[in-house]
A = this chain, B = another copy of it.
Amino acid sequence: PPAEPRGSGAGAARGSPPAAAFCRPAFLQLTPEELRRADDHTGRAVQSPRDGRRRLPWSTGYAEVINAGKSQHNEDQACCEVVFVEQRPSPRGWLSSREGGGELDGGRKGFYFHYWALFDGHAGSGAAVMASERLHLHICEQLRDLVEILQDPSPPPICLPHDARSGSADPNHTSYTEDHGEVPNDAVPRFHLEKAVSHESLVIGAIENAFKHMDEQIERERASQHLAGGCCALAAIYLMGKFYVANAGDSRAIIIRNGEIIPMSREFTPETERQRLQFLALLRPELLGKEFTHLEFPRRIQPKELGKKMLYRDQNMNGW
């Protein structure tokens, strides 16, 4: 994403109503009676989008059942939406639009994306409910700066003027690839290595930042909204002919084709993140609360083992 010197906050969050209480995914359109049955740990009714009600895009299938005995409510959530990303008005256009009180020239400019997401809730449904209601809005917010850039086949600009959003950016003046023929007009020698930035990598960056903003919003509103628990977030986004899969947590997206299972994302678990977490613990020992070291041991150490030599694994090791 473009670096934002001052905190931009999470635009999608401002003015939103408080997070709803427990619910099931909106697209299930459950009646109050069906909602009660969804919580029945004995009957364990399978919930699916009903024939005759709204169909999900792409004939998406969905089925859920409560994980009997683990928690009173089903703590997992899901979301399926088609979202319109409206180009953010340029400062000039925004001003004239507000002054005139009318529509932008040419009406709403933007594109749609398809969105499917699953949220595996733990220790309460609050985080999963909020994420299922807001994550796609954060993604939309992040993509708004990219509407014009993604529709322009030329290489994306790397640098934008300070006082403009992308709407008024002129690639001819901001993209290095356009002007590397000119003589540098400052004394510092120009560094001629530049990384290629694809349109897709901007979408990936936007989704990554949306996850970060979503996480920050949950942290911010956790206390005031009495949000319980945490959740894994797995989202699939179809945008301008490409499919993006984003994941935080221990879920996994797969494609099954001709009996072959193709993983589309990888899980984050204590095992997959071990070395990163040990590295963090090495550099920030204060996070360990004097209860652990950054070393991993094959098992919890017993008091009677103190003073003995024990196998360990450091942050840069795979063996013991």
Instruction: Mark A residues whose CB is within 8 Å of B.
Output: 1-5, 156, 158-162, 174, 176, 184-186, 188, 190-191, 193-195, 197, 200-209, 212, 276, 279-280, 283-284, 295, 297-300, 302-305, 307-313, 316-320
Selected from B176, B190, B299, B318, the residue in CB contact (under 8 A) with A194 is: B299
- Residue contact B2 to A310, C-beta cutoff 8 Å: yes
Complex: A135 Cα to B160 Cα, angstroms = 51
Selected from B4, B158, B319, the residue in CB contact (under 8 A) with A204 is: B319
Determine the chain B residues whose CB is within 8 A of the CB of A200 once the complex forms: 319
Complex: A279 Cα to B308 Cα, angstroms = 34
A235 nearest CB across to chain B (Å): 14
Selected from B207, B284, B316, B317, the residue in CB contact (under 8 A) with A319 is: B207
Selected from B191, B203, B204, B303, the residue in CB contact (under 8 A) with A300 is: B191
A200 nearest CB across to chain B (Å): 8
- Residue contact A202 to B320, C-beta cutoff 8 Å: yes
Answer whether A2 and B311 are a contact pair too, CB < 8 Å, given A202-B319, A316-B208, A319-B202: yes
A227 nearest CB across to chain B (Å): 23
Selected from B4, B174, B299, the residue in CB contact (under 8 A) with A195 is: B299
Complex: A253 Cα to B206 Cα, angstroms = 37
Query: Which of A5, A186, A298, A311 has the largest count of B CB atoms less than 10 A from its CB?
Result: A311
Determine the chain B residues whose CB is within 8 A of the CB of A5 once the complex forms: 309
A201 nearest CB across to chain B (Å): 4
- Residue contact B298 to A190, C-beta cutoff 8 Å: no
A171 nearest CB across to chain B (Å): 13
Determine the chain B residues whose CB is within 8 A of the CB of A308 once the complex forms: 159-162, 174
- Residue contact A309 to B160, C-beta cutoff 8 Å: yes
- Residue contact B201 to A319, C-beta cutoff 8 Å: yes
Determine the chain B residues whose CB is within 8 A of the CB of A197 once the complex forms: 298, 311, 320
Determine the chain B residues whose CB is within 8 A of the CB of A201 once the complex forms: 318-320
Answer whether A319 and B162 are a contact pair too, CB < 8 Å, given A188-B302, A197-B311, A279-B279: no
- Residue contact A302 to B158, C-beta cutoff 8 Å: no
Closest B residue, CB atoms, query A211: B316
Selected from B186, B205, B305, the residue in CB contact (under 8 A) with A317 is: B205
Closest B residue, CB atoms, query A304: B186
- Residue contact A1 to B195, C-beta cutoff 8 Å: no
Selected from B158, B299, B305, B309, the residue in CB contact (under 8 A) with A311 is: B158
Please name 6 further chain A to chain B contacts, defined as beta carbons within 8 Å, in addition to the given A194-B298, A204-B317, sorted by A numbering.
A1-B312, A158-B311, A159-B305, A162-B307, A197-B311, A197-B320
Selected from B1, B206, B299, the residue in CB contact (under 8 A) with A191 is: B299
Complex: A93 Cα to B33 Cα, angstroms = 79
Answer whether A310 and B159 are a contact pair too, CB < 8 Å, given A176-B299, A197-B298: yes
- Residue contact B317 to A195, C-beta cutoff 8 Å: no
- Residue contact A208 to B317, C-beta cutoff 8 Å: yes
A99 nearest CB across to chain B (Å): 26
Determine the chain B residues whose CB is within 8 A of the CB of A159 once the complex forms: 305, 308-311
